A and B are shown apart, each in its own frame.
Chain A
Amino acid sequence: MVSRLALSRLAPVLNVARSSASAAARRNIRPARSYATSSDGEQHSMTVRDALNVAMEEEMLRDETVFILGEEVARYNGAYKVTKGLMDKFGEKRVVDTPITEMGFAGIAVGAALQGLRPICEFMTFNFAMQAIDQIVNSAGKTYYMSGGNVPCPVVFRGPNGAAAGVGAQHSQDYAAWYGSVPGLKVVSPWSAEDCKGLLKAAIRDPNPVVFLENEMMYGISFPMSAEAMSDNFLLPIGKCKVEREGTDVTLVGHSKMVGHCMEAAEALAKEGIKAEVINLRSIRPLDIDTIIKSVKKTNRLVIVEGGWPGFGVGSEICAQIVESEAFDYLDAPVERVTGADVPTPYATVLENLSFPDTPVIVKVAKRALYRTN
């Protein structure tokens, strides 16, 4: 185990560096899940980590061809414990530890998918997946088209994406826009536990390659789960967003961790009598622009929030599609983008905190869109 730890590169450091809140949440990993026997009316909740774990477990039970591979996903239970217990349940043939080479095990995943299996390829973080981006974009994303529809590639690439905390420029970036620009790929960026469960299950069943962007800071966060979401057949459609909170005055669109900030901002705005509508994107590609258009036609104001950089980003794309659509005529203010700062992410806590959107800045920009300065 000592050598395994030594091989795990930055993951143990990341674990320590994380805020104490999420570390505490991790200690609460359920001894046994209770959803199967729960009675009606009981309020369920689940961490994002557990929702991902349950999604994979259920799909592996349902379909023999589903298997997981990646660095330390099996015996070590995953660098972030997302695959905890799966090796014990399904054995080393279906939960496969690999050496440290992203281009290698992403290639294995693609090859296995081309040959009829349904691999779930875990990257310790998407920052490391850049080594494997050729396999993801050129092989997984294009083979179905290039083979004239002969050879599908049903693979899920998943792992934490976006800024974490205190891990510097090379471990803090958001790849939603990168993968979101590639036809042939589907790209999902969930926020809540319900999102994670329903979308990961849908991603595993999807006949296409799906890039599933998780967020390290969210793993330990608990969310309420509906009875429906607890069922083992709970699927959410890829390509549809969710209106998390209805409102009439301004539309806040976000994905992943930023949805939480948007919800907090909406709450703060409500205290000032502003009714913000919050849209959780869920999918980056295909992008559910219709729901956003509908919302903008109602609120006449749009603020897009993301943890990525501003240039050529998810917000830029949504802004472009909105001004190209009939919603343009309904806008009463310029579209606003709230994004990460356009610099490589700094390490020092004060600088890092300044580099990403938080709730107060979203509130401020939403008010600016409403021409309110106070």
Chain B
Amino acid sequence: MIRPSNSLLARAPVVLRRSFSTGIPRRNDHLPTTNSPIITKLDFFNSVTGNDTQIPTYRLLDGVGKPLDGAQLPEIDEAFAHRLYSNMQLLPTLDNVLYNVQRQGKISFYMTAHGEEATIVGSAAALDMQDEVLGQYREMGVLLWRGFTLDSVMAQCFGNEEDTSGKGRQMPVHFGSPEHHFHTISSPLATQIPQAAGVAYALRRSPTRRSKNIAACFFGEGAASEGDFHAGLMLASTIPSPALFIARNNGFAISTPSTEQYNGDGIASRGPGYGIDTLRVDGNDVLAVISAIREARKRCLEQGRAVLVEAMTYRVGHHSTSDDSFAYRARSEVEDRKRIDNPITRFRLFMESRGWWNNDAETELKARLKADVMKAFKRAETMKRAELGELFTDVYGGQEPWNIKEQRQELSRLVKKYGTIWEPWQKELSKFRNNGQDLMK
């Protein structure tokens, strides 16, 4: 890897010799500003592997959960495997319920993680619980792994009075929880990528967290086309910071297939361009994801620098509830992928081969998860919204400016005037905690 600061010094004598030389430059000479060797052959290249092959993909288990020859599995015991598996199964259970809840019009929006369970849960399992996570929007599994409850998930999606992510101010799946070291999801794509470099910089500056924690940043291969991706990786590289960039290459950016998203070798090929250690991993192999992220995290901390991991997976679900993916891909393609490259099935087969899992356990788990999710859903559905006056809080920290006060006073005046005597307003106010009383004082 080229490191301009020290390489310049090392090259100084070479530069001198060249400038006085009158002959043809020797093969081992360099230009004054790089370590690039001089050659006399026109040698265009378009591959980071150097031999025109694609970047390889790291994998440990084959499609039926059998370890590949020479694969070094991460150390996991039966209890940990159960935890991984139940978290992977929880995602589709929750997704199916909330997807249908959206279809019934009870929430405005939802995004499923079907097909990407191994990438999300495997990454979560490999990270430290205190590592700062900056997600894109499809990383609810990381929060659940860290103990974010189903009630909290429902509260956010319904925007009810228990919503600790944002008091009902954000669209569904825009979670955030400082307690779980999970940064608030932001809708504009890829803004979290340069921010992750800043979070990692702050961690490096913190005496208590330096060398202990990293910033882990998730994004899709579509988001990697945004300028923020390039800016973020370059800055994390030039202002070194322990940021781990995890690209979920799920094949689609809404309707745009990854074949139209880039003409190069995926996202991984860009890492070396920014001087960043990079790995491509089979994102549907949860054990490979765990090993990859563990090692990437270790490098982040040891070198104090950014690392990029591209997890190859497949988005089985639609992009979001605003999308019908069968308009741009065949239903059979999706069904095939679900059957032959299913991350959950693959890991279940692995567990069964170890004697850690069987049909009874599967039935019991699925029934339990479904019951838990339905219980949380039913509880959230009937809950009230936050107090009406919360509409105006948190626009600014510190002293509240007059324009915020004035708006609250105006609403308060109207609620006092009509809130107790006009039926449509009474009905509307009853949806809020304390029925709007906080503004009637």
Contacts and interface: CB of A to CB of B under 8 A. Distances in A.
Interface of A: 67, 69, 93, 96, 98-99, 101, 103-117, 119, 131, 134-135, 138-139, 143-152, 154, 183-184, 186, 206-208, 239, 285-287, 289-290
A144 B396 contact: yes
A231 B123 CA distance: 52
Contact of B231 (A101, A145, A150, A287): A101
A362 to B, nearest CB: 28
A100 B218 CA distance: 24
A184 B392 CA distance: 11
B40 interface: no
B198 A110 contact: yes
A112 B132 CA distance: 12
Given A98-B239, A147-B176, 19 more contacts: A99-B238, A101-B235, A103-B194, A104-B228, A107-B235, A108-B235, A110-B198, A111-B195, A111-B199, A112-B198, A135-B191, A139-B195, A143-B184, A143-B186, A146-B166, A147-B184, A150-B164, A151-B183, A152-B397
18 contacts: A93-B205, A98-B238, A99-B234, A103-B194, A105-B235, A107-B195, A107-B197, A107-B231, A110-B195, A113-B198, A134-B191, A138-B187, A138-B188, A144-B397, A150-B164, A151-B178, A184-B395, A286-B401
A239 B184 CA distance: 28
Contacts of A287: 403
Contacts of A145: 169, 394-395
Given A149-B393, A286-B402, A112 B202 contact: yes
**10 residue pairs, one from A and one from B, having the closest CB atoms:** A111-B198, A107-B194, A104-B231, A111-B195, A207-B397, A115-B202, A148-B167, A286-B401, A108-B198, A149-B394
A107 B193 contact: yes
B199 A115 contact: yes
B412 to A, nearest CB: 19
B202 A183 contact: no
B238 A117 contact: no
Given A114-B199, A138-B188, A286-B402, A150 B178 contact: yes
B131 to A, nearest CB: 12
Interface in B387-409: 393-398, 401-403
Nearest to B205: A117
Contact of B398 (A105, A184, A206): A206
Contacts of A139: 186, 188, 191, 195
Contacts of B194: 103-108, 110-111, 135
Contacts of B235: 98-99, 101, 104-105, 107-108
B396 A108 contact: no
B170 interface: yes
Contacts of B398: 206-208
B281 to A, nearest CB: 25
Nearest to B164: A148
Interface string B224-240: 00011011101100110
B153 to A, nearest CB: 15
B176 A111 contact: no
Interface residues on B, range: 35 or more
Nearest to B165: A148
A184 B191 contact: no
Contacts of B178: 150-151
A107 B232 contact: yes
Contact of B198 (A115, A183, A208, A289): A115
Contact of A116 (B191, B202, B403): B202
Given A135-B194, A143-B186, A208 B169 contact: no
Contact of A148 (B203, B234, B238, B394): B394
A192 B216 CA distance: 44
B204 to A, nearest CB: 9
A111 B238 contact: no
B377 to A, nearest CB: 21
B206 interface: yes
B174 interface: yes
A192 B403 CA distance: 26
B285 interface: no
B234 A101 contact: yes
B31 to A, nearest CB: 14
Nearest to B207: A64
B247 to A, nearest CB: 17
B135 to A, nearest CB: 13
Contacts of A143: 184, 186
Nearest to A121: B198
B163 interface: yes
A146 B170 contact: yes
B186 A138 contact: yes
Nearest to B174: A146
Contact of B396 (A99, A150, A208): A208
B90 interface: no
Interface in B39-89: none
A146 B234 contact: no
B196 interface: yes
B203 A115 contact: yes
B201 interface: yes
A135 B191 CA distance: 7
Contacts of A104: 194, 197, 228, 230-232, 234-235
